Structure 1
């Protein structure tokens, strides 16, 4: 009988971190802090620090073999090797700076909050890296990692460069440079809205129960839930630290895997795919449809929020390890205990409930066309899930997890009915 592998994270610990961060949110609402970047730093650190501390205390995450560290080995460290790694690290920072300088997407004012913060901590980051790299180098079982490989190549000191290690390092940094400013901006916007919102006005019922009151409640809780999601996401991209066993172990190596993921995010989604091709919004949604039935409106909104809660629950399971396109540990707790890809499942169901093109579109032709487009969006996320499985299947723990879910998961019956979508290690589909 296949047993479910142990998860690198703890839902209880992540919940404690969330409670600490929400406490900071209460403080921020009562403060006169005017800096959006400082506010999101406070909220993020109040989430990350308790999780890191409690994982180190109870899970001993720094002792996991997956860290590649051995605290028992008598290694005095190497100043030369550390210096070479620092060259590689600073080269990665230069690569990030080049991308932000080069592309027009980052030259407007949209990401100013993020870039202003980055400028203020850049020098400190470069300085803190020196003792950190030296300390970690002393404990590494295989110290010639991607940073060393890149640094040695730049310095011309290595005739047999491990190009795979260098490419994985740069791919990991590409993931961070793309997603971190985007998620930082989103989370900062959500935090600013929550901090400055008059909650009393939202919850105060004046007159009869109405769809307007129901919609206000829905919008508040929807924004609040996505704030929690974005908080875990932002923290995840910031804390790719080996010492916490939260480092990037591998990054999606295929073009198709990158393509199918990136088209779901700005600017690619808004400028091209979501506006010119997969636009399934008819201009009306569930709220318009149920506007004259306040109690139904309220109940239906609660149903949508139920799936949003599952989506956020999945993000919460990551703790400090959330990151698209990367392997940072195999999650088997939270909603992942019951199915693979719970966030994708919940998100796609919620879209059908929100946009309901089969009901709100004016003509039958539009109902059919927009439903097909939303179905196409579902296919994109299905392919994202398959590329992730193919990538993660290099880890034996994921293979055991996938096999466990195929036997005990909520949707195990789907694989029995459609064998082609059953898990097959190293492949997108089960061709046999």
Structure 2
């Protein structure tokens, strides 16, 4: 039940609209991931007890980090299908009750496969041309994706033939791209744009996420916790690292499982040029030059542990604050379950930390940076460094504000449920409603009105 006031806001008495992702999905994934981390930390004991071959040491290698995706993603997939029954939702575009005979749409499937294989080839070519993918942490990602290429191509054949039997409209984005490159009639330029927005996002971010899996996982598995409770700095650093590992693991699962039977497909990529510029500026290789050089905000900074050294109580309190902010950040990813990814619309999320603000990850991440770096305190004693660091971190926060606004504009165009959620949060969100009232004091009320890219 809802009502409108004179300002046009929708007042939903029973709370925000129902989330497209249940809270349990991410939680079972978290449980599976933590169980695997504990097993890897204590593998030496298990190996000794079971007389297993090999070294008696923690499993902290890159492939253990990769295997963690199975232990987080597996429970989330099972819960989504067996409990939430997401495969039965109309938003999947699937009608399981009216399957067509196998091969009924063989011509459509063939065109779609050509479109998919051409997409794989183009993305592989871009990986080869981009030098940064062949050094440092990206070498692991290229090895994983290279090993997955042939199985992906082979398995795409039975998958497409199977899924086309039950799709309400088998001529999806991949078909339109395949029709374009084969000269078939009936393809839509807009559908081809949607296809490439989705695949550029998937290709760019999947490689990045896989590349950062091993580092944090090794730190968490190998870290010696003896005496850690008596050291507030070590304790805070380990807990924040664990939370970042959780974020990366769950987030990577989200990028890899963009599948219609899980209702986790990319329904649309962000059409706003400003959103792409702001998002890509935060990730390698663009971040190396923008955040790492142009907007460098850590010049002659020493961080929170340095400035609070000597006060154990202050270190525990400040470290606890940083852990809390990181926990909110990780929670925001966990809440997505198998649907996390940047620059995409994959349904509407209204529970978890999204009950308090529309952008809990951005709010918590930026607050973490301000509190951890303390850009206004410098070891050089230079006021110029203070001004530069503070100004440039402010610029970084502004980039995230632009990301938030363009994401809102994207979702407001796509889904009436998000429009209802947007209005409910303006009135009832613990953080959002207060910021909205402050904003309305200085500007006329209005939703995001960013213009889409071509």
Normalising by structure 2, we get a TM-score of 0.88
Deviation of 1:254 (Å) = 2.3
Query: Is it true that 1:224 corresponds to 2:251 in the alignment?
Result: no
* 1:300 equivalent among 299, 318, 325: 318
Q: 1 CA distance for matches of 2:448 and 2:384? A: 41
Q: Secondary structure at the match of 1:200?
A: coil
Q: Give the stretch that moved more between structures: 168-177 or 92-101.
A: 168-177
Alignment of 1:203-214 (within 5 A): 203=229, 205=230, 213-214=231-232
* 1:240 equivalent among 258, 261, 265: 258
Q: 2 CA distance for matches of 1:318 and 1:231? A: 12
Q: Secondary structure at the match of 1:69?
A: coil
* 1:84 equivalent among 96, 100, 111: 111
Deviation of 1:195 (Å) = 2.0
Deviation of 1:61 (Å) = 0.4
Q: Secondary structure at the match of 1:153?
A: helix
- Report the CA distance shift for 1:141/1:255 in structure 2 as closer, same or farther (over 3 A): same
Deviation of 1:417 (Å) = 2.5
Alignment of 1:132-281 (within 5 A): 132-158=159-185, 160-200=186-226, 202-203=228-229, 205=230, 213-281=231-299
Instruction: Specify the alignment match of 1:9 in structure 2.
Output: 21
Q: Secondary structure at the match of 2:338?
A: coil
* 1:39 equivalent among 32, 50, 64: 64
CA offsets 1:82-111 (integer angstroms, 9 cap, x no match):
111111111111011010011111232431
Query: Is it true that 1:427 corresponds to 2:449 in the alignment?
Result: yes
CA offsets 1:229-267 (integer angstroms, 9 cap, x no match):
111111111111111000100001122210011111122
Deviation of 1:278 (Å) = 4.2
- Report the CA distance shift for 1:384/1:324 in structure 2 as closer, same or farther (over 3 A): same
Q: 2 CA distance for matches of 1:414 and 1:283? A: 30
Aligned positions, number: 420
Alignment of 1:334-345 (within 5 A): 334-345=352-363
The answer to whether the 8 A contact 2:32-2:71 is kept is: yes
- Report the CA distance shift for 1:86/1:278 in structure 2 as closer, same or farther (over 3 A): same
Q: 1 CA distance for matches of 2:228 and 2:430? A: 37
Q: 2 CA distance for matches of 1:37 and 1:355? A: 29
Q: CA RMSD in A?
A: 2.0
Q: 1 CA distance for matches of 2:444 and 2:42? A: 51
Instruction: Specify the alignment match of 1:389 in structure 2.
Output: 408
CA offsets 1:306-352 (integer angstroms, 9 cap, x no match):
11111111011011111001111111111001211011111111111
Query: Is it true that 1:401 corresponds to 2:437 in the alignment?
Result: no
Return 5+ residue gaps in structure 2 as ranges: 3-11, 44-54
The answer to whether the 8 A contact 2:18-2:350 is kept is: yes
Q: 1 CA distance for matches of 2:274 and 2:317? A: 40
Deviation of 1:425 (Å) = 4.8
Q: 2 CA distance for matches of 1:382 and 1:300? A: 25
Instruction: Specify the alignment match of 2:430 in structure 1.
Output: 410
Instruction: Specify the alignment match of 1:66 in structure 2.
Output: 91
- Report the CA distance shift for 1:200/1:35 in structure 2 as closer, same or farther (over 3 A): closer
Q: 2 CA distance for matches of 1:37 and 1:367? A: 39
Instruction: Specify the alignment match of 1:101 in structure 2.
Output: 128
Return 5+ residue gaps in structure 1 as ranges: 206-212
